[in-house]
Amino acid sequence: MRRRDILAGAGSLAGLSLSIAKPGVAQTKRRLKMVTDWPADLPGLQSSADRLAQRITAATEGRIEVEVFGAGKFVRALETFDAVGAGVADMYHSAEYYWEKKSPAFSFFAAVPFGFTANELFAWVQYGGGQELWDALSNQYNVKPLLCCNTGTQMGGWCTREIASLQDLKGLRYRMPGLGGEVLRRLGAIVVNVPGGDIVASLKSGAIEGSEWIGPWPDLAMGLQNVAAYYYYPGFHEPGTGITLGINKRVWESFDPSLRRVIEDASAAEYTRSLAEFNAKNALWLQKLRGEGAVKVLKFDDSILKELYRVSRDVVAEASTADEHSKRIYASYQQFLPSIIDWSDIAEGSILGSRRLA
């Protein structure tokens, strides 16, 4: 991709440095550009990107100053990965499944249908070998990736008509990225992917009949309740969606070990904080939505979920055959998944089930 296709009139690479004085110490200040794929006023994702930038700036005592640009403000939506790889921007804040055409293996670090929850994903990446495999995948594109945010379990999405059976999926024009989109495609849906900022207009115009987004808090803030009357759960496609801080590899390698550790720790801290925020605010906004009574909040029928699960296993397995990185990442995922499911069922799963006995 040529730079003018990414950013008209972009100047020299971001991240220029200047010397500033501290008492007795020569310091270098780096100004870095972070680009996101979120609308500039979107709560949850864009606000998490802003908070992470502030955290890095504060933790490095200004040695790194991060400026954040929402979708379309510096590069076009969904071109953030290419912009960072090319050095036009220094960092991106986005979901890895947007890069699935480069390799389906990227989806394993964002969301896999019926796959890892937020806690399980972080466990695999941090302590199950996932980070090393992810580094090898992303290094091909001149990017260093870090998990930095998680939305938690997402909703299944919004529809302008009821989805009561598998037959209702056939011909349904639905916005869903990643491997989940391929699952719906195999069940007869017409799957498209549009940037988040275009979802409301697309539903309103009839260009699409349904769309997943995130959860009650950001969904209602974006106005999806005004253009669709049915809100489905669970989000089979995104049981715990990881968001990535992607850093230009040359920029990352220019940092000394202490700065790298600060960025790693800031990203891990924001992962935990963002997950807590999404869970707390989704709970409140779901109550608000139900209280208004204009939207039907419905669970997908079990017959639909069973078929989604069956097809999902095939789609995820086939994603592993695309390239050598995909094979290795899928093998690691498959090795880690049974044990973490067993523990999750015994630990949180049993508690969640017990709470409904009273």
Give residue limits of the domains in the chain.
Answer: 29-152+240-275, 157-238+281-340
Percent of the chain with pLDDT over 70: 92
Of 8-17, 242-251, 284-293, where does mean pLDDT reach its minimum? 8-17
What are the tens digits of pLDDT across the range 172-211? 999 999 999 999 999 999 999 889 999 999 999 999 999 9
pLDDT category, 4, cuts 50, 70, 90? very low
Intrachain domains 29-152+240-275 and 157-238+281-340 with the same fold: yes
pLDDT of 224 above 90: yes
What pLDDT does 155 receive? 98
**Chain Cα centroid distance, residue 53:** 17
What are the tens digits of pLDDT across the range 335-355? 999 999 999 999 999 999 999
Query: 29-152+240-275 has which CATH code?
Result: 3.40.190.170
Instruction: Name the one residue in this structure whose structure tokens are 């550009």.
Output: 33
Burial environment of residue 173 by CB neighbours within 10 A (0 to 12, 13 to 18, 19 or more):
middle
What pLDDT does 28 receive? 78
pLDDT of 20 above 90: no
0.85 exceeded by pTM: yes
pLDDT of 312 above 90: yes
Distance in angstroms (rounded) separating the CA atoms of residues 96 and 51: 20
What pLDDT does 358 receive? 74
Angle, helix 178-186 to helix 302-319, in steps of 10 degrees: 120
Mean pLDDT, the chain, rounded, equals 92
What are the tens digits of pLDDT across the range 51-99? 999 999 999 999 999 999 999 999 999 999 999 999 999 999 999 999 9
**Chain Cα centroid distance, residue 43:** 14
The structural architecture, per CATH, of the domain 157-238+281-340 is 3-Layer(aba) Sandwich (3.40)
What six digits make up the tokens of 10? 């972009």
What are the tens digits of pLDDT across the range 261-296? 999 999 999 999 999 999 999 999 999 999 999 999
pLDDT category, 27, cuts 50, 70, 90? low
Question: Which residues, in sequence order, are CB contacts of 58 under 8 Å at separation 6+?
Answer: none
Looking only at the bridges linking them, the beta strands covering 91-94 and 242-248 are antiparallel
Of 20 and 286, the one with more pLDDT = 286
What pLDDT does 120 receive? 98
Tell me if 179 sits within 8 A of 112, measured CB to CB.
Answer: yes
